[in-house]
């Protein structure tokens, strides 16, 4: 039977506002989708070309090169220290794994999948595809004694809010889930983009912690998975290069199912994924680009009378208008910005608690970001006359 009960694809409802934004005499600046716009690093393009001769089938489990690169990256970049026995599997972009993980774990009717209250919609959709029940909750206390919970999704840094979950919070969730035999899966694809001083190593802050950190797991990976992507850190969204790592027994179960389904990352992409994790300078260069764009946009939004909340990490500015009337919602702000030729995402895409916010992406060229800032400045000038 076909999958039923899925919500409408949210981005379809943004089309009329995209048309309004495109009608601006000088064109649209699209800050609605977090798709990279900068070139894929030449180093990684060369790796792809060198790996292009790949006549045989790749492995679902991934190459030894990928496994070694992932383990070394967690130790070097994420600060976990060595992770003996780490299970690793490449996936076709992190969204694919998010959407299919409940199904791959064998979840179904009567099972509960927990996800953040303001969240990427695919956590909810993945539960529905499996026939499980999605529940939005940010605290374990909100779930009560529910023993039907089989999977808990974390997202840190969060999309769209940019919220970072500290070690103590991660450890509490893992302990709670283990008492119930539930799996904890943490979506960490924005982990390289810490901004506020507390989460920016360049400013003396901590690294964004991983759910695989021994301070979280007690050195035991049982029941814990981390999902990471090279899309944002390395401008590889078009390659669909990501991985899941953690509990080796869980990863083996995922590999066994995916072998039957033919869910395999192409061998050249696996080579690029490994290379991207071993080389850090291109990530620092890309972060510097986003840092500059973030400063321009954040200043412009604030000067326009808007408020940027949370957004301590990640690829977005979680923005609201403190003067928004009681009966209005995020679509009012989406519309006003669209009339300036600036397209943003409505917060309602990410759950009811986002209904008075918009998500502003940093993924536009330097020139487009400057144009957006100029238009926001014009709007502020008009409203203060």
pLDDT tens string 261-287? 999 999 999 999 999 999 999 999 999
Give the CATH number for residue 81. 3.40.640.10
Per-residue model confidence as pLDDT tens digits over 314-349: 999 999 999 998 888 999 999 999 999 999 999 999
181 shares its domain with 304: no
274 shares its domain with 344: no
Closest to 269 (Cα-Cα) out of 41, 38, 63 = 63
Q: Which domain holds residue 21?
A: 10-39+282-380
The predicted pLDDT at position 113 comes to: 97
The predicted pLDDT at position 147 comes to: 72
236 shares its domain with 262: yes
| Phi, psi for 254 (deg, rounded to 5) | -65, -40
The predicted pLDDT at position 239 comes to: 97
90 shares its domain with 195: yes
Closest to 336 (Cα-Cα) out of 319, 361, 315 = 319
Residue where one domain finishes, among candidates 250, 279, 308: 279
262 shares its domain with 308: no
What is the pLDDT averaged over residues 352-372? 97
| Phi, psi for 133 (deg, rounded to 5) | -105, 120
Is 207 inside any structural domain? Answer: yes
The predicted pLDDT at position 298 comes to: 98
The predicted pLDDT at position 385 comes to: 39
Distance (Å, whole) CA 37 – CA 341: 19
Is 271 inside any structural domain? Answer: yes
Question: 43 pLDDT exceeds 60?
Answer: yes
Give the CATH number for residue 322. 3.90.1150.10
208 shares its domain with 317: no
Is 2 inside any structural domain? Answer: no
Distance (Å, whole) CA 234 – CA 287: 10
| Phi, psi for 85 (deg, rounded to 5) | 75, 10
Closest to 106 (Cα-Cα) out of 145, 61, 147, 151 = 151
120 shares its domain with 258: yes
243 shares its domain with 97: yes
Residue where one domain finishes, among candidates 224, 256, 279: 279
The predicted pLDDT at position 1 comes to: 52
Distance (Å, whole) CA 15 – CA 12: 6
Closest to 137 (Cα-Cα) out of 177, 188, 190 = 177
Question: 249 pLDDT exceeds 80?
Answer: yes
Is 44 inside any structural domain? Answer: no
59 shares its domain with 30: no
Domain count, the chain: 2
Q: Which residues contact 275 (CB under 8 A, 6 or more apart)?
A: 43, 44, 47, 69
**Which of 380 and 46 is assigned the larger pLDDT?**
46
Confidence of residue 384 (pLDDT cuts 50, 70, 90): very low
pTM for the whole thing?
0.94
Q: Which residues contact 121 (CB under 8 A, 6 or more apart)?
A: 7, 10, 349, 350
Torsion (CA) 378, 162, 10, 20 in degrees, nearest 10: 10
Per-residue model confidence as pLDDT tens digits over 214-243: 999 999 999 999 999 999 999 999 999 999
Residue where one domain finishes, among candidates 232, 254, 279: 279
Is 236 inside any structural domain? Answer: yes
The predicted pLDDT at position 196 comes to: 85
What is the pLDDT averaged over residues 50-62? 97
What is the pLDDT averaged over residues 168-195? 97
Is 140 inside any structural domain? Answer: yes
86 shares its domain with 194: yes
The predicted pLDDT at position 2 comes to: 60
What is the pLDDT averaged over residues 168-192? 97
Cis (ω within 30 of 0) for the bond into 157?
yes
């Amino acid at each position: 039977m076909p999958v039923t009960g899925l919500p409408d694809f949210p981005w379809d409802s943004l089309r009329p506002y995209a048309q309004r934004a495109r009608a601006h005499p000088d064109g649209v600046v699209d800050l609605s989708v977090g798709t990279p716009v900068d070139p894929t690093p030449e180093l990684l393009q060369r790796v792809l070309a060198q790996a292009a001769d790949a006549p045989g089938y790749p492995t679902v489990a991934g190459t030894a090169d990928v496994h070694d690169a992932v383990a070394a990256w967690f130790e070097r970049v994420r600060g976990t220290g060595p992770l003996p026995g780490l299970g690793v599997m490449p996936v076709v972009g992190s969204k694919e794994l998010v959407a299919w993980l409940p199904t791959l774990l064998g979840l179904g009717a009567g099972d509960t999948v927990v996800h953040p209250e303001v969240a990427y919609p695919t956590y909810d959709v993945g539960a529905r595809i499996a026939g499980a029940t999605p529940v939005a909750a940010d605290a374990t206390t909100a779930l009560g004694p529910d023993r039907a919970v089989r999977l808990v999704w974390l997202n840190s840094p969060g999309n769209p809010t940019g919220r970072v979950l500290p070690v103590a919070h991660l450890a509490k969730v893992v302990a709670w889930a283990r008492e119930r035999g539930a799996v904890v899966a943490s979506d960490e694809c924005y982990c390289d983009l810490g901004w506020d001083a507390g989460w920016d190593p360049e400013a003396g802050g901590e690294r964004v912690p991983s759910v695989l950190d021994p301070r979280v797991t007690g050195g035991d990976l049982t029941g814990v998975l981390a999902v990471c992507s090279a899309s944002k850190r390395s401008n590889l969204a078009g390659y669909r290069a990501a991985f899941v790592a953690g509990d080796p027994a869980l990863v083996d179960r995922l590999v066994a199912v995916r072998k039957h389904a033919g869910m395999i990352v192409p061998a050249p992409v696996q080579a690029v994924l490994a290379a991207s994790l071993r080389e850090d300078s291109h990530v620092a260069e890309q972060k510097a680009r986003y840092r500059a764009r973030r400063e321009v946009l954040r200043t412009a939004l604030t000067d326009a009378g808007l408020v940027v909340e949370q957004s301590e990490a990640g690829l977005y500015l979680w923005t609201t208008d403190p003067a928004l009337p009681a009966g209005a919602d995020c679509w009012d702000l989406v519309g006003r910005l669209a009339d300036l030729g600036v397209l943003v995402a409505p917060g309602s895409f990410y759950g009811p608690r986002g209904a008075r916010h918009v998500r502003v992406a940093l993924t536009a060229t330097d020139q487009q970001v400057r144009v957006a800032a100029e238009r926001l400045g014009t709007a502020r000038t008009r409203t203060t006359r």
